[in-house]
Amino acid sequence: MPVTAIVLAAGEGTRMKSHHPKVMHKVLDKPLAWWVVDAARKAGVDRIVLVVGNGADEVRSYFADEKDVEFVEQTERLGTGHAVRVVRDALGGFAGPVVVLNGDLPLVRPETISSLVDATRTGHNACTLLTMTPPDVSGYGRVLIEDGGVRAIIEDKDCTPEQRATLLECNAGAYCFCGERLSTNIDKVNNDNAQGEYYLTDMVGIYAGMGEPVSAVHCDDYEELLGVNDRVQLAQVTKIMQHRINEGLMRSGVSMLDPDQVWVGPEATVGKDTVLLPQTFLWGKTSVGEACTVGPNSRLENATVGNNCTVDETVIVDSAIDDDVNCGPRAYLRGHTHLLRGAKAGTHVELKNSVVGEGSKVPHLSYIGDTQMGAGVNIGGGSITCNYDGVHKSHTTIGDGAFIGSDTMMVAPVNIGAGAITGASSCITHDVPDDALAIERSQQKNIEGYAIARRERLGIKPRK
């Protein structure tokens, strides 16, 4: 039977003190709910249902391109049991195992979710819940286990002193239900409590009273099941995930001078013998090849980096560099820029929506936008393509082997031929033929003695 996962993401998360829903706050570069959805997907779940409520539009928008994610809106937030009932009504009932996960469990592993499903199927359980034993159990619901079965979940505030001291197994907020029995019995959950809400945890006691089998799967790594209720806890789980990812990279052959100062998102990949220096961020679908040095102070987002590259104090967004490329320090590549093999983008260089040919160099203090550049081109310092007239973006073409003198303004649209040279401090407004020299300057005029007369007029002491 197919497995359904329900991810509870409708809560307000008031302790986050935010205009955004709690599940949209990020661990590394992904929202809390993304991690849970991704873990469910990797666990082999067939159907993923995201329960939205507070900030529903923001959550829907983020997951809009996730074709295997469905949305059910809980317009009235009346508790976790109510959320599951809303999903049942929307889907017309459940069939097969139903995994229910809180949307703020970003550290849960796919293997743990799979173990819940396996235990439910093997034991023909009505419910299997995930448990843990954290160092500090205060605040957690305690799991009462008798005769090998789970009898109840007792909230911390309802525990007797003896229970508080002896019941150390805690509810982690993750369950797997038999779908058919859940469809039939979810309506038995009532809201007879101080909050007036329907709690999914009540299903444990209901099933126990019916004689239905309820069991627990213990997770040895309690950190895997840490939830997020405020920004302090968000930082704590982010640090754990940072260490988890960085350790995996280092074991695969990546070096880090200080792993605490490297942040790598879950979709990024890094090749062996690459060094990630402090204050490096690899976000999105970034791919870094082998034998590269990235950092310090570099951010790559949806970037592709070849082999043997240096990325020093550089930001690369939605762009690619091929093998043997050198960037930085303090370079900025964006807007689908592409540097071909052996190219260079140097100090204080910005490249936007441009192709830089093999071995071409933009060494320093330049802006190149909307440009197709050939091989072996040298761009002198302080040169820019004037590609925007306030309304339209225009294109510049620079041929193979061209030499652009320092402080050249290339006013697009303009074509500079192969092997052409532009004189320093020229404003190029017309096409330049192959192998030509283009120079545009007003005539220099020297006025002898002007500086002496000026100092006398202003009462400035004569120059010694």
Q: Which of the residues are catalytic?
A: 364
Task: Please enumerate, as own/partner, the contacts of 319-324 that have beta carbons within 8 Å and a separation of 24 or more.
Answer: 319/351, 323/289
Half-sphere exposure of 244 (CA within 13 A, CB side): 17
Q: Are 257 and 278 in contact (CB under 8 A)?
A: yes
The secondary structure of 310-366 as a DSSP string is EE-SEEEES-EE-TT-EE-SSEEEESS-EEPTT-EEEET-EEES-EE-TT-EEEES-
255 is in an annotated binding site: no
Q: Is 42 annotated as a binding residue?
A: no
- The annotation status of 8 as a binding-site residue, yes or no, is yes
**Who contacts 412 (Cβ-Cβ below 8 Å, separation ≥6)?**
370, 385, 386, 387, 394, 395, 396
Q: Is 125 annotated as a binding residue?
A: no
Query: Which tokens belong to 181?
Result: 């029995």
Q: Are strands 396-398 and 371-373 parallel, antiparallel or unpaired?
A: parallel
To the question of whether residue 424 is assigned a binding role by annotation, the answer is: yes
- Annotated binding residue 307: no
* Ligand-binding site membership of 104 (annotated): yes
The answer on whether 79 is annotated among ligand-binding residues is yes
Q: Is 344 annotated as a binding residue?
A: no
Annotated binding-site residue? 387: yes
* 441 in a labelled binding site: yes
- Going through 133-198 in order, the beta strands assigned E by DSSP cover 142-146, 149-154, 170-178
236 annotated as a binding-site residue? no
Is 11 annotated for ligand binding?
A: yes
Buried b / exposed e over 251-263, threshold 16 CB at 10 Å, is eeebebeebebbb
74 belongs to an annotated ligand binding site: yes
Q: Among 153, 168, 140, which residue's Cα sits nearest to residue 227?
A: 140
Q: Residues at the annotated binding site?
A: 8-11, 22, 74, 79-80, 104, 141, 155, 171, 229, 334, 352, 367, 378, 387-388, 406, 424, 441
Q: Residues at the annotated binding site for Mg(2+)?
A: 104, 229
Q: Residues at the annotated binding site for UDP-N-acetyl-alpha-D-glucosamine?
A: 8-11, 22, 74, 79-80, 141, 155, 171, 229, 334, 352, 367, 378
Q: Residues at the annotated binding site for acetyl-CoA?
A: 387-388, 406, 424, 441
